[in-house]
Homo-oligomer: A and B are copies of this chain.
Amino acid sequence: MTNTQVTLVQIDNYGPWTVTPEPRREADLQTLQSRLFADISQFVGARGGYVFFTRFDNMIAVTNGLSMTDHELLQESVGNRYPVTLSLGVATGTDPVHALSDATERLQEAGSAQDEDRRECLEGRAIEEAHRTADDVQIAHFDVINATGNYTDELNAFDTFIEIEQGYAELMRHMRYAHDSLSFFVGGDNVIVVCPDLEEADYEEAIHHVENAVDVSLQVGVGRGETAHDAGFAAKHALETCRADGTRVELEW
């Protein structure tokens, strides 16, 4: 049974900061946001976690393997090196949406994202070491079949982007409402989905749903593990099997 630990990473008072005393150069905001995300990816990733950029001022991470002390250190390090600070809400649940809802509430109860006085909150609980299992995380790695041949080498780059985006949007909504899962576009034609205990039939259904709704053809590799990296790396290998064998769904167990 999955037991996903989710962290909501929220930049404190970011909207106001970006326009005080005056609006800031957009290229600099993009650089700041991306590099902050990259740093969090290295910190979390080195402990077996995954973080997704989501909206950049609000990022969602799967942090099985990170303790509250680890979260505190991340906060301190960012506070030492950036002109902004982070608030972190941590929660767990048998399904990822439930865990994220709890993590979000932790921060909402502490104060508004644009509350001048709310800074560097650290709320919630991590899974105790003794309670962690090899089934805690289930990750599904989807990609578009032959995106390069069908889109990248054929359409203009924005129309390719629209196609990929439509596939992502349809999958994202379906997985959230039908399966309490969180889906994230991670570049190229790849979407990583954080799932509860789903089965092969659930993934086949998701693929058919997207194909019928927006005519985008996906394949998927699925893995399980104690951490997001363990599950996700197994999922990547399963996806290679799809590519090699021409199958649509491969579970790495």
A interface, CB within 8 angstroms of B: 8, 10, 14-15, 19, 23-35, 37-39, 41-46, 49-51, 53-58, 60, 73, 76-77, 80-83, 97, 100-101, 103-105, 108, 112-114, 148, 152-162, 164-166, 169, 172-173, 176, 182, 186-189, 192, 229, 232-233, 236-237, 240
- Chain B residues with Cβ below 8 Å from A27 are 41-42, 44-46, 49-51, 229
25 contacts between A and B (CB under 8 A): A8-B157, A10-B157, A23-B237, A26-B186, A26-B192, A27-B229, A30-B38, A30-B45, A31-B41, A31-B81, A34-B34, A46-B46, A54-B158, A55-B160, A80-B83, A100-B157, A100-B158, A108-B154, A112-B148, A112-B153, A113-B153, A158-B176, A162-B172, A162-B176, A165-B169
CB distance from A242 to the nearest CB of B (A): 12
- Chain B residues with Cβ below 8 Å from A29 are 80, 186-187
Number of copies of this chain in the oligomer? 4
- Looking at the complex, which one of B42, B80, B155 makes contact with A43 (CB distance below 8 Å)? B42
Q: Do the beta carbons of A156 and B15 come within 8 Å of each other?
A: no
- Most chain B beta carbons < 10 A, residue from A42, A101, A176: A42
- Looking at the complex, which one of B58, B157, B188 makes contact with A104 (CB distance below 8 Å)? B157
With A23-B240, A27-B41 known to touch, is A188 a contact of B158 (CB < 8 Å)?
no
Q: Do the beta carbons of A101 and B156 come within 8 Å of each other?
A: yes
- Looking at the complex, which one of B49, B82, B108, B187 makes contact with A83 (CB distance below 8 Å)? B82
CB distance from A108 to the nearest CB of B (A): 6
With the chains together, A37 CA to B35 CA distance in Å? Answer: 9
With A25-B80, A46-B73, A83-B81 known to touch, is A158 a contact of B31 (CB < 8 Å)?
no
- Chain B residues with Cβ below 8 Å from A166 are 169
With the chains together, A229 CA to B41 CA distance in Å? Answer: 22
With the chains together, A57 CA to B153 CA distance in Å? Answer: 13
- Looking at the complex, which one of B38, B105, B189 makes contact with A34 (CB distance below 8 Å)? B38
CB distance from A70 to the nearest CB of B (A): 8
Q: Do the beta carbons of B187 and A33 come within 8 Å of each other?
A: yes
With the chains together, A158 CA to B26 CA distance in Å? Answer: 25
